[in-house]
Copies of this chain bind each other. A is one copy, B any other.
Amino acid sequence: MSEHRDVLSTPGHLVSLVARGFARLSEARLKPFGFGVGHLPVLVALRDGKAGTQRDLARFARVEQPPMAQMLARMERDGLVRRTPDPADGRSHRVALTEMALSCLPEATAVLMQGNRDALAGFTEAEAEQFVDLLARLLANLDRLAAKGPGRRWSSAVP
């Protein structure tokens, strides 16, 4: 029976190991640009005008607000981002990319893409596509499961 597999051979644990491996690889390759893996959702959202405030960025990146605040603080400290008070809302800050970050982004994303190709070495095109498909379905399941217990966090719209 395939039930007898160990806990450490489950998809959950394997995904965790793969995620850490991916993160270490990407972190290493992104370091020359001054970026970290976690920065990417923020950078992309700001570049594409998908989000301008801290809360929007947190939602977009699917993290909670305090981690996003901390990350933005570090990114501001490192010159990747600028925060200015929102004239229309006294509570809010408008977040914008610096020219430095904007100019580094294309090459950084290219490096990321190459990292993905390297990691998927030996995968056929069909396998790679199915992998992404399975991941997306898994993510949808996990979102659905998370929505059962606590109050839903994200707008339940998965890109």
Does A18 count as interface, using CB distance less than 8 angstroms? yes
Q: Indicate if the CB atoms of A14 and B135 lie closer than 8 Å.
A: yes
Chain A interface size band reads 35 or more
Known contacts A6-B44, A10-B112; decide if A21 and B119 are in contact (CB<8 Å). Answer: no
Knowing that A11-B131, A14-B132 are A-B contacts, what are 20 other residue pairs whose CB atoms are under 8 Å apart, sorted by A's residue number?
A7-B40, A8-B44, A10-B112, A10-B116, A11-B119, A12-B112, A14-B136, A16-B19, A16-B22, A19-B20, A20-B62, A21-B139, A21-B146, A25-B145, A25-B146, A120-B141, A122-B141, A130-B134, A131-B131, A131-B138
Among candidates B7, B62, B130, B142, residue contacting A130 with C-beta atoms closer than 8 Å: B130
Please name 10 pairs of A and B residues whose Cβ atoms are closer than 8 Å in the assembled complex, sorted by A.
A2-B125, A8-B41, A8-B159, A10-B113, A10-B116, A20-B62, A25-B146, A119-B142, A120-B138, A123-B134
Q: Indicate if the CB atoms of A116 and B22 lie closer than 8 Å.
A: no
Q: Which 5 A-B pairs have the closest CB atoms?
A: A21-B142, A19-B19, A14-B135, A12-B22, A10-B116
Mark A residues whose CB is within 8 Å of B.
2-3, 6-26, 28, 37, 40-41, 44, 62, 109, 112-113, 115-116, 118-123, 125, 127-132, 134-139, 141-143, 145-146, 149, 159
Is chain A's interface secondary structure helix, strand, loop, or mixed overall? helix
Q: Indicate if the CB atoms of B26 and A12 lie closer than 8 Å.
A: yes
Q: Indicate if the CB atoms of B7 and A112 lie closer than 8 Å.
A: yes
